[in-house]
Structure formats: C-alpha cells, structure tokens
C-alpha cells in the first residue's frame, strides 16, 4: 500500500534504518558511560562500543580505525579538516584550491580562511559539474597546501574525478581533502585507492542518526596532522575534544556496516528506480537533467522543467511528496541555486529545478505516484505560465526587455 507523504529528499537527510536504532538503544539507558572514563565498567563498555564502531566506520572507507576522528557531523569535519590543515601547515603555505560548487560548509570555511590571511582559488566547473584537471594543476603554486574538492555534489550528485585529483596533488606534494558526505555509503569510497588524505562524512546521510560524523585523517604516506579547532579534554587523539556521542557513534558504526553489506543490492535497485523516474519525467517537453549523467550518484537526479518556477511546482505536490527545489527561493533571497548557476544554467532553468534523492526505502509505487503527480503539475503550471505561452508562440524570451526587478 502506498503511504503518503513520500520522502524523496534523501540528500538532505535519510530516515534511520531500524537496525541502526536497535543497535543504539542500549547506549542511552543501560550503557550510558563516558567512553573516556577509564576506571570503571561503565566507561569500559562505552569505550569498547566506540572502538567497535570506529572499526565499522573505518572498514567502509578502507581506512585504519586510528584514522577516524568522530565529530558532530560533516560540517564540523569540514571545518576541522580545512582550518586544521591551514593552521598546521602554515609554515608550508597558505593557499587552498576548491571549487565553486562545494557545499557551504566548505565554501564558508574557505571564506573564513581568506579573512585570516589565506588565499583560496575557486575552480569553475563545466556544464556537467566537473572540474577541469588541467585547471586544477595550473592553479597549484609553491604555497598550495590543500586541494578541497567534494566527492559528490549534494544538489546534482555529480562525482568528481577524485583519483585523478589526488594523483595531481600527490605529484605536487599537496594534501587532498574531500567532503564525501553524499558519497560514503552510497558508492564505494576507499581512501587508499582514491588517494584521499582527509575526508568529511556524516551518519545521517546514510541511514544513521543526526549529530554524528567523522573526519578521516591519513596516518601513513603521508602522515597528516590537523590543529584542533576546539580546546578541551584532548579526545580523539587530541584533534577533537568533547565527550564522545556514544549512542550516535554506535549508530554511525552500524549504519556503515549496513551500507557495506547492502551497497551492491541497494545501488542496483535504487538506480533502476532513479532511471525510471528520470526517464518518465524526461518525456515532458523542455525537461533537462542537470549535471553529469555518467559520473553521478546512483540515487540522485536533478531535473529542470523550463518555464515553470520551482517553488510553485513544489507547491503542487509537497503535501504528498517531500522534495527540494534546486532554487533557494523559499528563503527571503530570490537567488537560484549557485550550484546550477555554476553549471552555466540560465536563471530560467536554475529557477525551475527539482532535486530527487532516493533511498533504500524508496518503492516503485512511490516513484510511479511521483511521476504522475509531477507531470500533472508541470502541465498545469505551464498552462498558467506566460513564459510557456511565449515559448509556444516562438518568441525568444531573451529578446524581451524585462522590467527592472
């Protein structure tokens, strides 16, 4: 039976897997100890649980457990990774290379770095959302200490060529940081095969709980160090003070274990549903997929429906289908998505996009319902759209002088 509302905003957050909750539950009431309490069984239990979770997390990304630093989430891990490297390697240089389509947690951290004397290069992306490797290499200077490029984009799902990026970085003696929040658990991420030195990711994007994430920090070839950004008890090998969120970490570990077990089957099923959704919606006139279709997360698609406005479109079905518009129109600012703009999309298309994120729990019935609801709304709104009428009359919208606005 189809249950409404349908959740297709899994890039924002995923529902928790019930198996994750089950693993966490004992650590709220029964085993409530502080993992740093070394002199009684409550502490030992908690520490043991954290150690086990650390192994589960490390295994998913091909790392050593000692390389996993637990944080409150990916935003904190982004901050710790980038600011921590900037401080630690200050004697080596002050230049960081990133891209315009990064998450705000990376972009705003870089803006902060600029304010405190750092230099940041923001690489442009092509129409598919991919950076140009030649441009990357050309941007490296003697003062470059870090390349921060995301693994996969949160709005369009485009996967960057991380292996190639890290090869360039290695050749030039520069560290590689990647925000892999959307990728870990969804596609095989291996810090050694991918040549990653630092990596941020989060539990709640992979069926785990909110409020817990991790920063991977390489310990060998090269040994990477970050300066702590929070002072305190020196937890997490001195890199992240603060009492560990034991139930969250246990859940994170379980979520990683499940992703590892289920990834192949999940990917096969989810990508099939994603393709079904995408193909059906592309039957509408003037619909465009944003970002690379080739280098893309299996559960994501971002589609623009020309001549209808994203927020108006969402209103047609958002009682029954949870989705997000690529445009940030719901906020007071009327700016369309900076990611879509970076791909070179005109304002009309950038204002007309929907982001779909499927999950382990998405069903075919839900996809069928979604296709029908969205198609009907797009057709209805186009009947109401003056832009659609002009388009149908063959008027080039670029030739119209729009009122200053």
**DSSP-assigned states of every residue in 13-74:** --PPPHHHHHHHGGGTTTS---TT--SSHHHHHHHHHHHHHHHHHHHHHT--GGGEEEESSH
**Of 294 and 401, which has the nearer Cβ to another protein?**
401
Q: How many residues make up the chain in this entry?
A: 405
Q: From the candidates 110, 256, 259, 329, which is the catalytic residue?
A: 329
Q: Does 386 bind another protein (CB under 8 A)?
A: yes
User: Pick from 124, 315, 344, 365: which binds another protein (CB under 8 A)?
Assistant: 315
DSSP code of residue 123? E
**Of 40 and 372, which has the nearer Cβ to another protein?**
372
Per CB under 8 A, contacts with another protein among 36-75 are none
User: Pick from 329, 342, 367, 378: which binds another protein (CB under 8 A)?
Assistant: 329
Closest-CA residue to 221 (of 165, 177, 175): 175
- Binding part of the chain for another protein, among 67-75, 140-148, 234-242, 327-335 by CB under 8 A, reads 327-335
- Binding part of the chain for another protein, among 99-107, 120-128, 214-222, 331-339 by CB under 8 A, reads 331-339
The DSSP bridge partners found for residue 355 are: 302, 324
User: Pick from 221, 330, 364, 372: which binds another protein (CB under 8 A)?
Assistant: 330
CB of 339 to another protein, least distance (A): 16
**Of 29 and 402, which has the nearer Cβ to another protein?**
402
Rg (CA), the chain: 22
Packing angle, helices 246-281 and 41-61, rounded to 10: 30
CB of 75 to another protein, least distance (A): 24
- In which element (H, E) is residue 201 found? strand 198-202
C-alpha span between 127 and 161 (Å, rounded): 15
- For 273, the token pair is 């549903």
Closest-CA residue to 206 (of 160, 155, 267): 267
**DSSP-assigned states of every residue in 86-119:** HHHTTTT--EEEEETTS-HHHHHHHHHHHHTT-E
Q: Does 190 bind another protein (CB under 8 A)?
A: no
C-alpha span between 23 and 25 (Å, rounded): 6
User: Pick from 8, 24, 244, 308: which binds another protein (CB under 8 A)?
Assistant: 308
**Of 1 and 4, which has the nearer Cβ to another protein?**
4
Write the CB contacts of 82 (distance below 8 Å, at least 6 apart in sequence).
96, 106, 109, 110, 113, 146, 148, 177
- Binding part of the chain for another protein, among 25-33, 237-245, 275-283, 386-394 by CB under 8 A, reads 386-394
User: Pick from 119, 275, 311, 368: which binds another protein (CB under 8 A)?
Assistant: 311
Write the CB contacts of 32 (distance below 8 Å, at least 6 apart in sequence).
42, 46, 246
Closest-CA residue to 110 (of 81, 135, 138, 90): 81
The question of whether 329 is a catalytic residue gets the answer yes
CB of 187 to another protein, least distance (A): 33
CB of 104 to another protein, least distance (A): 20
**Of 260 and 373, which has the nearer Cβ to another protein?**
373
User: Pick from 31, 95, 205, 307: which binds another protein (CB under 8 A)?
Assistant: 307
- In which element (H, E) is residue 178 found? strand 175-179
Q: Write each residue from 340 to 359 as x if it is in contact with another protein (CB under 8 A), else as -, in one continuous string.
A: ------xxx--x--------
- Binding part of the chain for another protein, among 136-144, 161-169, 225-233, 394-402 by CB under 8 A, reads 394-402
- For 29, the token pair is 């009431």
User: Pick from 304, 324, 327, 353: which binds another protein (CB under 8 A)?
Assistant: 327
| Residues in contact with another protein by the rule CB under 8 A | 307-312, 315-316, 327, 329-332, 334, 336, 346-348, 351, 383-389, 397, 400, 402-405
**What residues are labeled active site?**
329
């Amino acid at each position: 039976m189809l249950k409404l509302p349908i959740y297709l905003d899994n890039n924002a957050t995923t529902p928790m897997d019930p198996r994750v909750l089950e693993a966490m539950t004992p650590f709220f009431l029964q085993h409530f100890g502080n993992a740093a309490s070394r002199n009684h069984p409550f502490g030992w239990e908690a520490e043991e649980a954290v150690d086990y979770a650390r192994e589960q997390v490390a295994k998913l990304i091909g790392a050593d457990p000692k390389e996993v630093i637990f944080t409150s989430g990916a935003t904190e891990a982004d901050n710790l990774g980038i600011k921590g490297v900037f401080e630690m390697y200050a004697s080596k240089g002050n230049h960081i290379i990133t891209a315009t389509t990064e998450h705000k947690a990376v972009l705003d951290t870089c803006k902060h770095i600029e304010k405190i004397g750092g230099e940041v290069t923001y690489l442009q992306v092509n129409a598919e959302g991919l950076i140009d490797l030649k441009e990357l290499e050309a941007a490296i200077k003697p003062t470059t200490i870090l390349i921060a490029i995301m693994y996969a984009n949160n709005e369009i799902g485009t996967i960057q060529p991380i292996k190639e990026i890290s090869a360039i970085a290695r050749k030039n003696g520069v560290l590689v940081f990647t925000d892999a929040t959307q990728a870990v658990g969804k596609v095989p991420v291996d810090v050694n095969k991918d040549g990653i030195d630092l990596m941020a990711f989060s539990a709640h994007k992979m069926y785990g709980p909110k409020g817990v994430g991790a920063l991977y920090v390489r310990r060998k070839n090269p040994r990477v160090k970050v300066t702590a950004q929070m002072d305190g008890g020196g937890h997490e090998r001195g890199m992240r003070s603060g009492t560990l969120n034991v139930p969250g970490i246990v859940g994170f570990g379980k979520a990683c274990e499940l992703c590892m077990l289920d990834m192949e089957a999940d990917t096969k099923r989810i990508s099939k549903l994603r393709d079904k959704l995408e193909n059906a919606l592309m039957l509408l006139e003037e619909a465009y997929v944003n970002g690379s279709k080739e280098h893309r997360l299996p559960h994501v698609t971002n589609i623009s429906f020309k001549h209808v406005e994203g927020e108006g479109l969402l209103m047609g079905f958002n009682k029954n289908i949870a989705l997000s518009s690529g445009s940030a129109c719901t906020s007071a600012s009327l700016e369309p998505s900076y990611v879509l703009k970076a791909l070179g999309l005109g304002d009309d298309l950038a204002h007309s996009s929907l982001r779909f994120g499927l999950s382990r729990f998405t069903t075919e019935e839900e996809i069928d319902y979604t296709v029908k609801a969205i198609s009907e709304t797009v057709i209805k709104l186009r009947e109401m759209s003056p832009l659609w009428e002009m388009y149908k009359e063959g008027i080039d919208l670029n030739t119209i002088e729009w009122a200053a606005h």
